[in-house]
Structures are given as C-alpha cells and as structure tokens.
C-alpha cells in the first residue's frame, strides 16, 4: 500500500542583500525580516535539506525519506540518473533590489571545481512592478577580450540585454548565460540542485558590515557563453484545464496548468516524482495515500508511486515539475 501521501515542507528562508518583504506579504512566508530574498521550498542541498511539515512524516528530512523509500519516492529512472541526491531545487525569489550579474557553470565544470551539479534553471514571473526587468544575455556579439575590458572598466552594463517582464512570463537560463533578476520581480525558480554561482558584477554594493561582496571574475571566464542568443524567453500555451508544456530539458520538465475545475491524472506510468508549485489561487491535491491543500506560494511533492493524482479546485495556476 502506498503510504507516501502528498508532502509539504517547511520553507527555508534566506536573507539577501537585495531581498524584500513580498515573500511574507504575498506568499505568507513566516518571515519578519525586510530583506528576505529566497524561500527554498524543496531542497536536498547539504546544510539546507527540507523537512516535512505535514502528516505522519512531519519533521523527517527529504533525505531521510529518500533513504527509506528510494525509487518509490523518486522513481527508478531518477535513481539511476542521479542516485539518491534530490536533483531539483525549488524556490520563490523576491528581488527588492537588482541581483548581482552572474552565471552558473555546466555540469562538467561544477563537478571538477565544486563536486556539484551545474545549474540550469527556469523562472516563472509571479508578480512584477511596473517597468521591472531582467538581464538575460548580451545585447550584441561579445568576445572574451571585450568582456574582460568591460569588467575592468566597469562598463559591463552597456552590453547587457534587458527584458521587461510581467506576470506569466517564463525564462529558461542555461548554464553559461549571464543574467540577473531585476528589482521589483517576484518569481518561482526551478533549477538543478546546486548552489554554485559566479558573481561578476554587483553594482559596488556593500553588505551590512560595509564589505563588498566577493566576485568570481576568473572562475566565470571559463564558464561564460559569449555568444549573443535569443533563446531564453519561453513561449507556451495557456489553455485552461489542460496540461501545457513549458520547458523540457535533461534536468526537469515543467508544465503550466490553469485549472478552473477539477482534474484527474493517471500517473501509473510516470517513473518520476511530481512537484506542484501554486502560483495563484488554491487547490486540494490527492493521491491514493491522502490529500493536502495548496495555495499561492506553496509547494507539494507527490511520490513516484502515485498512480492517480487528483486536483480539486475552483481556480488555481500550478507549475507541474517532473523528471
């Protein structure tokens, strides 16, 4: 019998120099800080492993569940590919100020330098102030030499590509792509399990102790993709009461679901866990072992051995993530 019911986890809140208050005010996170930048919803990152917040397994860590249930929780194919390390990190991010301009290494570099996965990620914009934007890629062809000169002369910003955003916009950020989340953006982030970031420009900001944050100029040089590419904004259907594919890559597949009524899925052949991030409204999500409510700003993990998943709602928007 399937004992693995829909699992919710305590958010892991992260103060950031650029953070704000929207995670508490809009997504109901238990934060009293005015610089909360991230809520890690589902994490297997060492030192920040998620703990169950509901039901029989309340207080157990994600890693303890994986150790006990293995393929029943993750899926046999997931175990074969990633072992017992949870391969996805799920976050909500509130940028009150611009994030640093940064990029992430690929799997090969991250493994050799940090014994980590690389960091491919995607963003779904939940809310954006008027004229809020992202930096994604370059606005012109770049060379290594021109890039180094722009870092030395602090002229990097003039080569950055700015994208104005609004709720519902979605972006796929592959490894090596230079990027930054702009001030006034609240988003959902789905990424490989990795906390490796190469920061290349930080607007000369200082932390609470008056120190400049570390830059990773040399490390970034071998990781950066200098090509100008228009490959980051995701076009996807938003048909109501349907499962609309958004992103499909080797590390995760994400679907968009705008539900105005109940939905039942037969997932008996799905050899993967399923994650739902609620980005608007509320719903009740169930498998054979139980049900759990979810509302805007919450995340639920369904085990791979769920044969039927039912979603009861009178109105919600969900991101469905599988491997």
Q: What is the model's pLDDT at position 83?
A: 93
- Considering only the C-alpha atoms of the chain, give the largest distance between any 2 of them, rounded to a whole number of Å: 64
Q: Are 48 and 182 contained in the same domain? A: yes
Asked if 279 and 296 count as a contact pair (C-beta separation under 8 A), the reply is: yes
Q: Would you place residue 195 in the very low, low, confident or very high pLDDT band (cuts 50, 70, 90)?
A: confident
For the ranges 91-100, 197-206, 313-322, which has the lowest average pLDDT?
197-206
Q: Are 57 and 100 contained in the same domain? A: yes
Please state, in angstroms and rounded to a whole number, the distance separating the CA atoms of residues 217 and 2.
50
Tokens of 96: 């009150």
Q: What is the model's pLDDT at position 2?
A: 64
User: Does 79 score more than 90 pLDDT?
Assistant: yes
**Number of domains forming the structure of the chain:** 2
Q: Are 189 and 263 contained in the same domain? A: no
Asked if 74 and 306 count as a contact pair (C-beta separation under 8 A), the reply is: no
Q: What is the model's pLDDT at position 60?
A: 97
Q: Are 150 and 296 contained in the same domain? A: no
The 10 Å Cβ neighbour count of residue 313 is: 20
36: in domain? yes
28 is in an annotated binding site: no
32: in domain? yes
104 is in an annotated binding site: yes
108 is in an annotated binding site: no
Residues 43, 44, 48, 50: is their CA dihedral positive or negative? Answer: positive
Q: What is the pLDDT of residues 210-242, one digit of tens each?
A: 888 899 999 999 999 998 888 999 999 999 999
Please state, in angstroms and rounded to a whole number, the distance separating the CA atoms of residues 20 and 298.
18
In sequence order, what are the beta bridge partners of 13?
Answer: 39
Asked if 17 and 72 count as a contact pair (C-beta separation under 8 A), the reply is: no
Mean pLDDT of all residues in 249-271:
96
Domain that holds residue 87: 12-221
Q: What is the model's pLDDT at position 205?
A: 87
User: Does 1 score more than 60 pLDDT?
Assistant: no
Mean pLDDT of all residues in 123-147:
95
Mean pLDDT of the chain: 95
Q: What is the model's pLDDT at position 122?
A: 98
Q: What is the model's pLDDT at position 209?
A: 85
DSSP state of 307: S
- H or E stretch covering 81: helix 76-82
Give me the torsion for CA of 265, 266, 269, 273, rounded to 10°. Answer: 40
Give me the torsion for CA of 110, 323, 73, 86, rounded to 10°. Answer: 10
Q: What is the pLDDT of residues 83-119, one digit of tens each?
A: 999 999 999 999 999 999 999 999 899 999 998 888 9
Tokens of 318: 């969900």
Q: What is the model's pLDDT at position 309?
A: 98
7: in domain? no
User: Does 279 score more than 90 pLDDT?
Assistant: yes
Q: Residue 155 belongs to a domain with what CATH number?
A: 2.60.120.10
Tokens of 209: 């102790």
- 16, 113, 199, 205: the catalytic one is 199
pTM of the predicted structure, to 2 decimals: 0.95
Q: Are 98 and 25 contained in the same domain? A: yes
Q: Are 148 and 287 contained in the same domain? A: no
Q: What is the pLDDT of residues 5-54, one digit of tens each?
A: 999 999 999 999 999 999 999 999 999 999 999 999 999 999 999 999 99
199 is catalytic: yes
Q: What is the pLDDT of residues 116-130, one digit of tens each?
A: 888 999 999 999 999
Asked if 92 and 40 count as a contact pair (C-beta separation under 8 A), the reply is: no
- Closest to 302 (Cα-Cα) out of 278, 314, 285: 285
Mean pLDDT of all residues in 255-264:
97
């Amino acid at each position: 019998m399937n004992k693995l019911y829909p699992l919710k986890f305590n958010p892991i809140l992260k103060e950031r120099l650029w953070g704000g208050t929207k995670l508490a005010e809009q997504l109901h996170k238990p934060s009293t800080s005015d610089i909360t930048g991230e809520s890690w919803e589902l994490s297997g990152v060492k030192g920040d492993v998620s703990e169950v917040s509901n039901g029989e397994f309340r207080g157990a860590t994600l890693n303890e569940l994986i150790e006990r249930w293995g393929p029943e929780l993750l899926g046999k194919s997931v175990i074969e590919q990633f072992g017992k390390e949870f391969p996805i990190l799920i976050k909500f991010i509130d940028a009150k100020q611009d994030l640093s301009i940064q990029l992430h290494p690929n799997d090969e570099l991250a493994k050799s330098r940090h014994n980590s996965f690389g960091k491919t990620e995607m963003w779904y914009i939940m809310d954006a102030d008027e004229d809020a934007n992202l930096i994604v890629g370059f606005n012109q062809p770049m060379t290594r030499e021109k890039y180094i000169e722009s870092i030395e002369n602090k002229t990097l910003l003039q080569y950055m590509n700015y994208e104005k955003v609004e709720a519902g916009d979605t972006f796929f950020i592959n490894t090596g792509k230079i990027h930054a989340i702009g001030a006034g953006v609240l988003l959902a982030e789905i990424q490989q399990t990795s906390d490796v970031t190469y920061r290349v420009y930080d607007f000369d900001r200082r932390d609470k102790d008056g120190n400049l944050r570390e830059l990773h100029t040399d490390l970034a040089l071998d990781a950066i993709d200098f090509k100008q590419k228009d490959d980051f904004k995701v076009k996807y259907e938003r048909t109501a009461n349907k499962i609309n594919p958004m992103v499909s890559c080797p590390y995760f597949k994400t679907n968009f679901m705008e539900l105005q009524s109940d939905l039942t899925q037969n997932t008996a052949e799905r050899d993967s866990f399923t994650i739902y991030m609620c980005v608007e409204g509320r719903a009740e999500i169930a498998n054979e072992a139980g049900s759990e409510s979810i509302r805007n700003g919450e995340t639920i993990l369904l085990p791979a051995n769920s044969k039927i998943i039912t979603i009861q709602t009178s109105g919600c928007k969900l991101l469905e993530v599988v491997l």
